[in-house]
Structure 1
Amino acid sequence: MLFKVFIESFHESCDSSRLDSFMRVNVVAMVILSRGKCGLCKCVTYYLIGMAGVDLSVVIFDLILRHIPIVFREQFEFVLHIPMCNIHSALLYAATDCSVWLTVTFTFDRYVAIGCKRLKQKYCPEKTAAVVLGTVTFLSCSIDIYWYFILAGPYWRGNQPWFCHVPIKDMLSVVWGTIEFLHYILTPGVPFVLIMLLNVFTLRHFLVSNRDRKRLRAHSCGESTRDPEVANRRKPMILLFVISANLIILWSVIMLFSIRTRMYYQGYEAMYLHWFVQEMGFMLQLLSCCTNTCIYAVTQTKFRDELKNVFKCRFLRQSYDE
């Protein structure tokens, strides 16, 4: 009953079509990938399903729970008197960190599959992928639980994105600044560096391997110029690079603004950035959790075919009901 009232209130106060679109995008991706008809190995499929599921949780925690002070302002006053924002912050940071670090593990998995043949047999099976997904999720939830104890205050409902209210004296303290810097270094600073390095190593090995295969095929006779093995390797490579670039680009704005704001609070005059940059950064960060389905559709032919089949089934069902 409580969940029903919550959803109804949220749809009345917010743009429900935007919420439905964000959630359906990730759900559709999970359904299509779970069928196993996209031409990807099970290991890659597990990672992509896990990433889509975590992105869906980010959308729920960031779009739905962030509007609790609006939705429950009249119906349930007690929500404002319990540490709901502390719970919300722990869940949101855990889901966000998990989304970023799963991209790192997926990048490392592709590097092992392409550049480390000896380690490939031990690391790349689907059982290992399931263990890695569970470990990253558990570590993200365990590490980010400290936000529950750090943030102690009601929701901030000013002319800025709503979240936990932090007193100015705490934000100006060295302890808070150290915590924020460590948080930005772990997510997304270190993942950015790891993703770029792994992509460089993967691309280097991919190019060297392709050059060697071309030389071998040049000495053979009666073979076609098109190498199916290279074509099969190219698809996951394109998918990997696009997902990595999508994460780095869409996270860069909020990361730059957060570092600039922290330097300002610590007394270092940095470049001026308007507050709308923060709002744009939040929007792009949230968008990074909703664009993977578009990436799959652009880079994977079989995924596009499965997506068309889903839409056809839906339209046929609607026409049958009418």
Structure 2
Amino acid sequence: MGQLTILLIKEIYYPFLAAVGVPANLVTIVILSRGNCGLSKCITVYMVAMATADLLVMIINVIVYYIFSYHFSLSFLSHTPVCRFILYMTVVTLDLSVWFTVSFTFDRFVVLCFQKFKTKYCTEGTAAAVTTTFSVLMFLKGIPVLFAYEPQQIINKVQWGCRSSVAFFSTPPGIAYVWFHSAWVVWLPFTLIAVFNSLTIRRILIANKARKGLQGQMSGNQSDPEMENRRNSIILLFTISGSFVLLWLTNAVSLVTTRLTNTTYYRGDRTNPGYLATETGAMLKYLSSCPNTCVYAATQRKFRKELKNVLRCLSFSFQ
């Protein structure tokens, strides 16, 4: 029963996720790239990078891996070399999505907490350098994945499918890589985002308290646009941090407990509890590639205006 349920959920969930996630991220990239949202060039670079990474997650991880590879089990995508490369790219794209979000969080932390340093760090050039550096690091960090899987079966001397290599994951380097990957893609980002956001929120609350006292002495109970903007920033930070932690938590726990050796990631044993936990965590973590950039951008009034213009143009083009 559990096997049929998880298969049915996946059959519906991943096509729906792709149908929503791909256009959402694509539209976000187009709107932000036009530069009409009133955002600084630094912020735009990070947000475009996040949207691009999330779009790649939707295309490679969801469409290619979970839809095409699953439904066309004897296609070109199921050749072991191609399968290995797809698995490698799924790791890289997720790393990029996570660490671009961390980079953007740190950038906002610097802006709000280090007024002197922000003029040097929070620039378009620095943002481009940071995203480029992380991109190179993620591609290098994922290289061991290419050696972590072996053919699932050999038909007429042709290697098909991928399954976890016991020879890799049972060795000390393989075990170390599993724990490193878990820490790198989940626990370290969890910690950094929590620390940066906590310090940022503390700084905002202190600044708001001082500003409120000053405003009270000068102009009574008049509304303060600056305090309203800071309040919105706190809400935004809590929303992004909370969604990231909640959507990644199941995956983080299952990744550590299964250690990637008791679950076959490609054509796996669908009755294995470790497989069920892994698939549930995967569905939740891929969901995080839909709302993150949209949540950041949708809080901007000008972005909403640009979105309406894009949707209006699309509606006219289909008439």
Deviations, residues 34-76 of structure 1 (Å, cap 9, x unaligned): 23333432222221111000111111111233133643725x4
Q: Which amino acid aligns with 1:100?
A: V
| 2:258–2:274 Cα contact (<8 Å) kept | no
1:159 match: none
Q: Which amino acid aligns with 2:108?
A: R
1:164–1:82 CA distance, 2 compared to 1 (3 A): closer
User: d(CA) in 2 for partners of 1:303 and 1:80?
Assistant: 41
CA drift of 1:293 comes to 5.0
CA drift of 1:136 comes to 1.0
Q: Which amino acid aligns with 1:32?
A: I
2:311 match: 311
Q: Which amino acid aligns with 1:227?
A: D
Q: How many residues align?
A: 291
3-state DSSP class of the match of 1:311?
helix
| 1:155–1:163 Cα contact (<8 Å) kept | yes
Matched, 1:299 2:296: no
1:53 match: 52
3-state DSSP class of the match of 2:305?
helix
* Aligned Cα root-mean-square deviation (Å): 3.0
User: Can you give the 5+ residue segments of structure 2 that lack an aligned partner in the other structure?
Assistant: 1-12, 155-159, 263-271
Alignment partner for residue 249 of structure 1, among 230, 242, 246? 246
User: d(CA) in 1 for partners of 2:17 and 2:241?
Assistant: 25
Q: Which amino acid aligns with 2:290?
A: C
User: d(CA) in 2 for partners of 1:81 and 1:170?
Assistant: 20
CA drift of 1:235 comes to 3.9
Q: Which amino acid aligns with 1:196?
A: A
2:125 match: 127
1:24 match: 23
User: Can you give the 5+ residue segments of structure 1 that lack an aligned partner in the other structure?
Assistant: 1-13, 157-161, 266-271
Identity of aligned residues (%): 36
User: d(CA) in 2 for partners of 1:173 and 1:252?
Assistant: 27
3-state DSSP class of the match of 1:83?
helix
Deviations, residues 71-95 of structure 1 (Å, cap 9, x unaligned): 3725x4xx65551122122222111
1:155–1:237 CA distance, 2 compared to 1 (3 A): farther
User: d(CA) in 2 for partners of 1:305 and 1:210?
Assistant: 29
1:115–1:17 CA distance, 2 compared to 1 (3 A): closer
1:62 match: 61
Q: Which amino acid aligns with 2:46?
A: Y
User: d(CA) in 2 for partners of 1:230 and 1:41?
Assistant: 20
CA drift of 1:296 comes to 4.1
Q: Which amino acid aligns with 2:237?
A: L
1:241–1:302 CA distance, 2 compared to 1 (3 A): farther
1:218 match: 216
CA drift of 1:249 comes to 1.1
User: d(CA) in 2 for partners of 1:155 and 1:253?
Assistant: 30
Deviations, residues 118-151 of structure 1 (Å, cap 9, x unaligned): 1111111122111111111111112212222333
* TM-score of the aligned structures, taking structure 2 as reference length: 0.80
